[in-house]
Chains A and B, each alone.
Chain A
């Protein structure tokens, strides 16, 4: 019995606890991200935004959640019911799955996977399924068009994301995310890989179907795209999935380019006393700050840029980003071989 406890039950409870420690903060961030988005866009457009429920409108997300819970669930006629309800669940759980390998501080992760970068890439490339399933199962023209657009868009931008990732992990010489962050000590990768940092961020915008690439749900053409027929909790799951995806993608940008949990004193040595003070701040604070910065840019872009036309989107992905990232990959490999810095 004691063996059962030490061999199975204790590790199981430990893993479950870790998962809970990740999921609860992520869910809370997601809730307040929806509020932050509305408040920030409000400020950018000289409005106030939601400020009535709770102090500074802080309870607005919970009011929204309760409202959505009590709405009626509508299933369209001719819908493929199982797939129809599976789709939001797939989206939501895939958005959460990525967090399994992201290190939020030194040694703070659920799983220290050897192929962490590949795992993240695999999970982000699966996000398309929830959308395609939703679009097909809804038995609706608008939803189907949205899903088709989304599938083409996500497949296209995945290619450049993949090449950028390869360039980064050639420099780091590891597929393990913790080691990748450690290898950025002194030189965060957004500096040497600056053009790819920009390409990666724009591709992430397309991958999460955010503005200015939100064609799958372009409300002026497709009502709400693949979400048209969803209501109540199934709609809420899509909505939450999209926002958690944004946070996960920001965490990915932070880990790959912005030095993960490393503080700014790592990049700017010689600050004297300030360096000591900054060294006291725990890594997770820096990680959260960087993620928040990326999320702010997500929202900023939404408030600033108009939506791309579909052919422009495809042109940018295939004719601009793909050659650029491929060329940069070859350049990186050549540079590393030439300087003898290629990690083995």
Chain B
């Protein structure tokens, strides 16, 4: 087991280093790259937990899709961190106030945190024995039976958000030349080509 615990400390240390670098890098693109590094270490921690499905989904969704978009946007925007830092002192009091409020709230939440009396029995009911089924199957058995409605509802929320984003950014532009493949394929020689007999020396009038 010593290797597993060494691996755990390695990955968690690297995750913390990565997360710190996300904040402290001067260049936003470097920040995103460190963020990706942090995601990887988090995925490795999931693998150590034996939750390989969640680990792979983390890599596919966050690293493979979300972070690509982040990187894409950050690269396109020409963000100058030095200019952003200029207002640092001016906004410091307001920012610190928000931070303190959040900290107090968190402290209150954690101070009053107790386990619900029947939580333990709830936890045991839908969970299959991990030695019997692979954890992909186990997750599916819980998500699509006990929590099927909640799962579908969260899917619908995401769908609404997606449609909203599309509607917000969609605009019909005039004067754009677009290739319409169905029109091109549907063209008939009879309508588009005229055969004429041209007399020599006269040409077409």
Footprint of B on A, CB under 8 Å?
8, 80, 83, 113-115, 118-119, 121-122, 125-126, 128-129, 132-133, 136, 144, 148, 151-152, 155, 158, 175, 311-312, 315
Interface residues on B, range: 20 to 34
Residues of B within 8 A of A152 (CB): 72
Partner of B179, one of A136, A144, A311: A311
Q: Is B68 an interface residue (CB 8 A)?
A: yes
Is A132 a contact of B68 with CB atoms below 8 Å? yes
- Per-residue CB contact flags for chain B residues 59-83 toward chain A (1 = under 8 Å, else 0) read 1100111001101100110000000
Q: How far is the CA of A83 from the CA of B191 in the complex (A)?
A: 57
Residues of A within 8 A of B53 (CB): 115, 118
Q: Is B57 an interface residue (CB 8 A)?
A: yes
Residues of A within 8 A of B65 (CB): 125, 155, 158
Q: Is B33 an interface residue (CB 8 A)?
A: yes
In the assembled complex, how far is the CB of residue B185 from the closest CB belonging to chain A, in whole angstroms?
A: 13
Q: Give the dominant DSSP class at B's interface.
A: helix
- Per-residue CB contact flags for chain B residues 163-185 toward chain A (1 = under 8 Å, else 0) read 00000000000000011010000
Q: Give the dominant DSSP class at A's interface.
A: helix
Is A115 a contact of B71 with CB atoms below 8 Å? no
In the assembled complex, how far is the CB of residue A239 from the closest CB belonging to chain B, in whole angstroms?
A: 23
Residues of B within 8 A of A8 (CB): 3
Is B59 a contact of A122 with CB atoms below 8 Å? yes
Is B134 a contact of A122 with CB atoms below 8 Å? no
Q: How far is the CA of A152 from the CA of B71 in the complex (A)?
A: 12
Partner of B136, one of A114, A122, A125: A114
Residues of B within 8 A of A315 (CB): 179, 181
Is B29 a contact of A115 with CB atoms below 8 Å? no
Q: How far is the CA of A83 from the CA of B68 in the complex (A)?
A: 16
Is B57 a contact of A118 with CB atoms below 8 Å? yes
Is A133 a contact of B72 with CB atoms below 8 Å? no
Q: How far is the CA of A83 from the CA of B30 in the complex (A)?
A: 8
Chain A minimum-CB-distance residue to B134: A114
In the assembled complex, how far is the CB of residue A290 from the closest CB belonging to chain B, in whole angstroms?
A: 26
Partner of A83, one of B33, B63, B135: B33
Is A125 a contact of B3 with CB atoms below 8 Å? no
Query: B53, B68, B136, B178 — which one has the most chain A CB atoms within 10 A of its CB?
Result: B68
Is A126 a contact of B63 with CB atoms below 8 Å? yes
- Per-residue CB contact flags for chain B residues 99-136 toward chain A (1 = under 8 Å, else 0) read 00000000000000000000000000000000000111
Chain A minimum-CB-distance residue to B53: A115
Is B64 a contact of A119 with CB atoms below 8 Å? no
User: Lowest 8 A-B CB distances belong to which pairs?
Assistant: A125-B64, A118-B56, A122-B59, A122-B60, A114-B134, A115-B52, A115-B56, A122-B56
Interface residues of B in 177-201 (CB under 8 A from A): 178-179, 181
